[in-house]
Structure 1
């Protein structure tokens, strides 16, 4: 548990300086500019709530992950058909934990997207992701099993995870290889 003074210092020193980039991120990724300030406040509230348990090592990553999750959840809620009247509110069973049901459905949807993302990967990359992330093998064990070098396993894992994340967020899920950096030729050697 983090004490209030430490939490306040963290928030002022590390979270608030991200406000400009966070606002730009929200403007790029949310259709209604009138809601940006409300969403930003929700992000701050979630950051403070989570930070009260333990301060994150990477504040920017933490805040932008919260922002992405809040945008995804708001987007899902807006897509739900709103009923103006509900005939018999008394007939709804109060004991049903709807949030648990929603979490279960969200988890199933995320699992389906992850499986689709894995299936889109090239065979070698798919095998590396399966061995490292599903079977839990170390880099060295996966390299030995596949008969390749550790560098190959690490590179394929990074490419695979990036492609899967892209697929899970609605992208194409294709492997994107960065062009190798060219070193300038040194004359006379």
Structure 2
């Protein structure tokens, strides 16, 4: 079987080497790892074909490459949680936060929440989606059915009002309305 498998591999898989190399170069940012990545794809395909030959070798080759890249990306996101040894020398003290500092942090959080709650509804929604949920400007615009320019205006207004409230009191209520798009291209206040 190994000679048969080798012949199949040469005939059905290796003929796509240039296309596979281009695909990997397009999908994997670490250029120095491309050769190893390609070899690992080949090893996985060869091993799987040893058990059962795929009916669509080219599709199987590229699916294997895609899965390998996905696996590597996933592994790259995993954070290793290994003890560094004794915590004393690394100066990590859990009790370092004083009661005053903790209380000050809680008060600041309450002020931010209060300022956020005072934002106009649409402005608050845009700021939340953009800054908290970290959606792109385009994603926010699509989700809310408004233009990207309107999203920009709401973000600018929201940040200005939040900063004003944090540094100067009740500036949230005193700001002018943001212009948004009406259904027929007219501008309306929000």
TM range (shorter): 0.3 to 0.5
Pick 1 or 2: higher relative contact order, CA cutoff 8 A, min separation 6: 1
TM-score (norm 1): 0.43
